[in-house]
Copies of this chain bind each other. A is one copy, B any other.
């Protein structure tokens, strides 16, 4: 994995652009039908009377879309080995059909592994923006190899 970013390279504050994701109504409804069949993720009319004020993506769909951008743009650059969880997901604003999302992944925390000298834990805050404003923060915490490890 020479040339890849290792644990030692990922200083707190370092930031990485992770591309874009175009949100469609079809995908919002399809994800909701499969995983989160609440009326405000399925139906325009029902959504108008909900707290979201109109059809919007499931928060877990926002996490999944964010993972796609992180997997395409950040993971290939790093000596990543998988992850054991997410520290938090904050869904701040509705994600609508027609939005084009982009992610900025910022290193907010690093921690050496207690038991294993070959890996470390790195927390990335994935800040998700639409065309106008930030709509979510999804925390990704991949395990990253230390330098000198494959």
CB of A149 within 8 Å of the partner chain: no
CB atoms of B88 and A86 under 8 A apart: yes
Q: Classify the secondary structure of A's interface with B.
A: mixed
**Neighbouring B residues of A51 by C-beta, 8 Å:** 81-82, 143
> Of B36, B89, B91, which is within 8 A of A71 by CB?
B36
CB atoms of B59 and A86 under 8 A apart: yes
CB atoms of A68 and B38 under 8 A apart: no
**Neighbouring B residues of A50 by C-beta, 8 Å:** 81-82
CB of A6 within 8 Å of the partner chain: no
User: B-facing mask of A47-74, CB < 8 A → 1, else 0?
Assistant: 0001110000011110111011001100
**Neighbouring B residues of A84 by C-beta, 8 Å:** 59, 90-92
In the bound assembly, the distance between CA atoms of A31 and B34 in angstroms comes to 11
**From residue A92, how far is it (CB to closest CB) to chain B in Å?**
8
CB of A37 within 8 Å of the partner chain: yes
CB atoms of A67 and B143 under 8 A apart: no
